[in-house]
Structure 1
């Protein structure tokens, strides 16, 4: 079986006409080229060159082999280019599963920027619960999970990507929009849209109210941030939502205000311990951290240093 290296030597000698010039181009010695040709001829059982007056003249068989070898060289170059693109994160497939808050909020904005330099990138995006994220990471069906509440499971690695906080959102003409900072207790005196006590965000808000000797009161219970935001946009009340969901929303049809006391939270990147994390996945986590750092409107501080990812 002829190796790719033997084909390369054969093609180069045919192209330049002498073993000396071929040796120079391939950065090897002239005897090494001559030995390679003799070894190849012994291997295939027929001559590749006619030796006349110190010059090598390729046989018809050699020309035929070299012509076919060009297809191999083109394929090798294509594979090398693909590897370079994969190394640079400009090609490939990135599969993400996110909780609805992240998937409806910041994720589309970040992906819009991320793929500008990666037009060949293929994406798979879906929304899911914590259990669904763990299950799909564990089976290798997705590369990355995104959530504002970290799961505790041995099959998943959890990395902090960014710091954020819950923000008060209301219609631009609402009385709370006149305040620079909204007191948590004031939410009990307006039409409050909030999360059920059994949800992670509901439990977080309940704990903050309890610390102040208050009981959280709300007229409408929702499960997802996107639902709360749509109800606010339609003038149905006031809600607390994570700062990642409202990036770029302040100054539009809704007002976004920090709370007193603040309700800090984080965005987490989740990867599988069962499968290696791809270079593209790591690049996206770095990109997401940098994006959130440059678009932090919550006053919660900077995103997690990308070097920690």
Structure 2
């Protein structure tokens, strides 16, 4: 009669599959290599399945081994969800707000919002996680974060969202650039002009490339990066120009010249939360503060546009 499987055998099996070797599995489990090998042998004996075959001195999972691993990984994913739920409850008890923010808003804007929030709730611990909008949306759905700031590209029926600041892209220029003499910048003005841009998958980059293609002008990319503060730093240093959302310039406006760009290319950020979200009162305060800072930035940056 087969004995019941134990968790240590399953952990050893999962570690070998994921780490690729018995030695690396032993390291992460803090046991010896013979101990891992013994656990695997017992697992095969008790399941009656050949889970590994030895190829050129290395263990390789069999078809049965990979099917078993898929089931184990699914179960462990469920355990991780339970752990996340426990963490959610713990954060409620500890007065802890976790914010997910896309890199473009991870500089001056989020600093201003959080500092204002902490003036109202000095006893709350705030954590800020920075990743792409899709990651932030996924974190919201799995309740790993309480509130998210994402681009308008994210549209998920499980998330409540609202516009934060929809505005056409504007042209950011170094203070000494010849185009600063113009009040309105058009695509033809930027033909072959050194251009600092965001990474290819970003919404801003896609809008810019589409506009340049429509008007048959050359986009002369001299540098691309993933964060708005970096884009603004290189513009201020004179490397090139760019088209950005006004929020991107927050904190750098004194070193840039901002001009309207025509035709308009609307870009939106969104504030996101889950319905019936935990920490509802804290989330409400944070969102209200984000709205206020967005309005302030709009007034500061766009007054002369």
TM-score by length of 2: 0.61
Hey, what's the Cα distance between the residues in 2 that align with 1:98 and 1:211?
Answer: 32
In structure 2, relative to structure 1, the CA distance for the partners of 1:294 and 1:229 (3 Å cut) is closer
**Equivalent residues of 2:103, 2:226 under 8 A apart:** no
Match of 1:272 in 2: 274
Match of 1:237 in 2: 240
Hey, what's the Cα distance between the residues in 2 that align with 1:141 and 1:182?
Answer: 42
**1:171 aligned residue (161, 170, 174):** 174
Match of 1:296 in 2: 298
**Equivalent residues of 2:95, 2:124 under 8 A apart:** yes
* CA positional deviation for 1:216: 3.3
TM-score by length of 1: 0.60
Hey, what's the Cα distance between the residues in 2 that align with 1:253 and 1:125?
Answer: 27
Superposed, 1:205-244 pairs within 5 Å as 205-244=208-247
**1:128 aligned residue (115, 131, 156):** 131
Hey, what's the Cα distance between the residues in 2 that align with 1:201 and 1:148?
Answer: 10
* CA positional deviation for 1:157: 2.4
SS at match of 2:269: strand
**1:286 aligned residue (288, 292, 303):** 288
Listed one character per residue, the Cα deviations across residues 193-234 of structure 1 (whole Å, up to 9, x for unaligned) are 123443221111222233334453423333332321222132
**Equivalent residues of 2:100, 2:147 under 8 A apart:** yes
Further displaced range: 141-150 or 220-229? 220-229
Hey, what's the Cα distance between the residues in 2 that align with 1:273 and 1:280?
Answer: 14
Q: Find runs of 4+ consecutive structure 1 residues off by over 4 angstroms.
A: 273-277, 297-300
**Equivalent residues of 2:193, 2:220 under 8 A apart:** no
Hey, what's the Cα distance between the residues in 1 that align with 2:272 and 2:160?
Answer: 6
Which has the larger Rg?
1
Hey, what's the Cα distance between the residues in 2 that align with 1:121 and 1:165?
Answer: 35
Listed one character per residue, the Cα deviations across residues 69-103 of structure 1 (whole Å, up to 9, x for unaligned) are xxxxxxxxxxxxxxxxxxxxxx9322111000011
Further displaced range: 125-134 or 274-283? 274-283
In structure 2, relative to structure 1, the CA distance for the partners of 1:138 and 1:103 (3 Å cut) is same
SS at match of 1:218: strand
Hey, what's the Cα distance between the residues in 1 that align with 2:242 and 2:223?
Answer: 10
Match of 1:182 in 2: 185
Match of 2:50 in 1: none
SS at match of 2:111: helix
Q: Does 1:152 align with 2:138?
A: no
* CA positional deviation for 1:244: 0.7
**Equivalent residues of 2:197, 2:231 under 8 A apart:** yes
**Equivalent residues of 1:105, 1:244 under 8 A apart:** no
Match of 1:48 in 2: none
Hey, what's the Cα distance between the residues in 2 that align with 1:231 and 1:282?
Answer: 36
Unaligned runs of 5+ in 1: 1-90, 301-309
Unaligned runs of 5+ in 2: 1-93
In structure 2, relative to structure 1, the CA distance for the partners of 1:204 and 1:287 (3 Å cut) is same
CA RMSD of aligned residues (A): 2.5
Match of 2:260 in 1: 258
* CA positional deviation for 1:149: 2.6
* CA positional deviation for 1:178: 2.6
